[in-house]
Amino acid sequence: MLVNNLGSTAALARPARTPLADFGFAPGRFSGQVYGALLNSLEALEDLGEAVFSPPYKAPPRAPALYFKPSHTHLAPAQAPRIALDSKGVAGMSLGASLGIVIGRACRRISVDEALGHVAGYVVVADLFLPHQHFYRPSVRLRARDASLAVGLPSPAMQIEDPDALELRVIIEGKTVCESSTAGMQRGVATLIADISEFMTLLPGDLLLLGTQARPPLLRVGQSARIEIDGLAPLELAAALAEEQA
């Protein structure tokens, strides 16, 4: 509570809730906390080659390396993503596609065997970011821009037999530009949840991105896209707008 200079009480406005849509099974709504697993795709890690053993990294990631997609990045359903323009006016952001894991029960120090029992559902996620080759610093300017995360409609976990074996496709302007799979991760769904729960609590409604695919395509201004993951509702992205039009 702050009191303004007129002497009346004016509470600080409540933090904006995520615009992500509510969904139809427990916990029913997203908390607004979204975490992505960096370089969980073994192929993406292999693309870095021997560099992972050199400074500044010195070793491949051991514990899960996570990044945030806070509420300012979240797109409301059907809202167009925003593409940052570089200094030359060239527009393009990496279109990361990931399986999203909707947490259903609080996860703290849980085992791999317990982990899938804490998942409420799965969802298709588009994570847009400015391309970068260096992962030493968190780079929130590249990772967490306004209107850079789109989330589809979740399906209950019981409908997905094996979340670690789902085919994934990225289609831009009607053309399939990327085919990948939720297999081939350093950590599958259960291991990722268990290892994160060693140092922090995942809460109901939190959304965890298993990991975007290696070599994500660029999404440019004016392009629409679709991401498909087997067994889940596809995610349609409206034609992207330039950030400056925001």
By the criterion CB under 8 A, which residues form the site for another protein?
Answer: 1-7, 9, 11-16, 33, 35, 38-39, 55-59, 61-68, 70-73, 84, 108-109, 135-141, 144-146, 198-201, 203, 246
What's the closest the beta carbon of residue 233 comes to another protein, in angstroms?
27
Nearer of residues 69 and 226 to another protein, judged by Cβ:
69
Nearer of residues 87 and 175 to another protein, judged by Cβ:
87
What's the closest the beta carbon of residue 131 comes to another protein, in angstroms?
15
What's the closest the beta carbon of residue 31 comes to another protein, in angstroms?
8
Q: Give the integer Cα–Cα distance in Å for 156 and 154.
A: 7
What's the closest the beta carbon of residue 231 comes to another protein, in angstroms?
29
Q: Give the integer Cα–Cα distance in Å for 164 and 240.
A: 30
Buried b (16+ CB within 10 A) or exposed e, 216-243: bbbbbbebbbbbbbeebeebbbeebbeb
Nearer of residues 58 and 88 to another protein, judged by Cβ:
58
Nearer of residues 53 and 233 to another protein, judged by Cβ:
53
Nearer of residues 4 and 87 to another protein, judged by Cβ:
4
Beta strands in 65-166 (DSSP E): 66-68, 82-83, 93-103, 119-129, 149-151, 155-156
In degrees rounded to 5, what are phi and psi of residue 58?
Answer: 70, -20
What's the closest the beta carbon of residue 77 comes to another protein, in angstroms?
19
